[in-house]
Amino acid sequence: MRILIANDDGYLATGLAALVQACEGLGEITVFAPEQNASGTSNALTLGRPLNIFQARGARGHAVHVVNGTPSDCVHLALTGVMSQRPDLVLSGINNGANMGDDTLYSGTVAAAMEGYLFGVPAIAFSQAEKGWGEIDAAAATARAIVEQVLSQVRLDGAPWLLNVNIPNRADALQLPRVVTRLGRRHASEPVIRQTNPRGEPIYWIGPAGDARECGEGTDFHAVAQGRVSITPLQVDLTDHAALGLWAARTAQPAA
Ligand SMILES: Nc1nc2c(ncn2[C@@H]2O[C@H](COP(=O)(O)O)[C@@H](O)[C@H]2O)c(=O)[nH]1
C-alpha cells in the first residue's frame, strides 16, 4: 500500500513527524509538505508562479519532498505527476490545533486531504484539539489505529471517502472512545486586531476563531469536549440541494 502524507504546519512540524513515524510499517510512505506554515490557506493552489520542490529531512529525520507552496499544492503536485505511482491513501496532519466546524473551510490540513479525495484517493485529515503538540505521540498512535481500523472495514479501490479527525491532547488518546460526528458551527471570528507597524502604518491581524455556537450532542465540538475522538465524514458538494426548487421559482423567467 502506498501512503501520501502531507500537512499544513510545514515540513518541520512535530505533528507531521509523529504521524509519519506512527504510520511506519503500514506501507510505502511518501511525504510532501509545505516549506512554510500554511495554516488557514484552505484549498488554495499557487497559479501565479512556478513551484519548487527540494528534498529535506523532517523533525524526526524522515525524508520530505518540500514544496514552496500550499498544502493543496503539495498533494496536487504529487498526484499530477511528481509521484511516479498513485497513492492508495492520503493522510494529512497532525495539525497543531483543532479543525472543527467552520475551521474545515479554512483549514490547510483538511484541504490537503480533500485534494486527495478530489483526485479519487481516500483521505483522512488529523488534528489535535489543542495547540502545542502536547501528547502528540498518543495522538499519532490513535491516528494509526484509526487508519488500521478503517482499512479493515473498507476497500481503498472503491469510491473515495474523506474523514476529518480531531483528537484530544491526552496521554490515553488511544483508549478514548471514537465517535462519528457532524460538523458543528462557530460564531463569527473575533474582531480584527489593529496595530501600528514601526513605520506608523496600520496593520491588521485576523482575530481569534469564534467560540463554538452549534456544539450540541452529535457535533465534533461536543465529542472533543467530552474527551472523545471525533471522526467526521466530509463531502465536497456545496450545492444547497434543499434550496434548488426555491431558487428555481425565484429565478423563473416568463415563457417566451
Ligand atoms: N479566525 C481564526 N481562525 C483560526 C485561528 N487559529 C486557527 N483558526 C482556525 O483553525 C484552522 C486551523 O486549521 P489549519 O489546518 O489551517 O491549521 C484555521 O484554518 C481556522 O479556521 C485564529 O487565530 N483566528
Q: Go through the domains of the chain in sequence order and give each one's CATH number.
A: 2-183+212-251 (3.40.1210.10)
ipTM, 2 dp: 0.92
pLDDT tens for residues 145-158?
A: 999 999 999 988 88
**Cis check: omega of the bond before 94, within 30 degrees of 0:** yes
Cα–Cα distance measured from residue 117 to residue 45, given in angstroms and rounded to the nearest whole number:
15
Is 95 annotated to bind a ligand? Reply is: yes
Stated pTM of the model = 0.96
CA-nearest residue, atom 9 of ligand 1: 103
Is 230 annotated to bind a ligand? Reply is: no
Is 37 annotated to bind a ligand? Reply is: no
pLDDT of residue 255: 87
**Cα angle: 215, vertex 192, 99; to 5 degrees:** 35
CA-nearest residue, atom 20 of ligand 1: 103
58 in Cβ contact with 19 (< 8 Å) = no
pLDDT tens for residues 161-210?
A: 999 999 999 999 999 999 999 999 998 889 999 999 999 999 999 999 99
- Which protein residues touch ligand 1 with a CB less than 6 Å away? 8, 39-40, 95, 97, 99, 103, 106-109, 189, 206-209
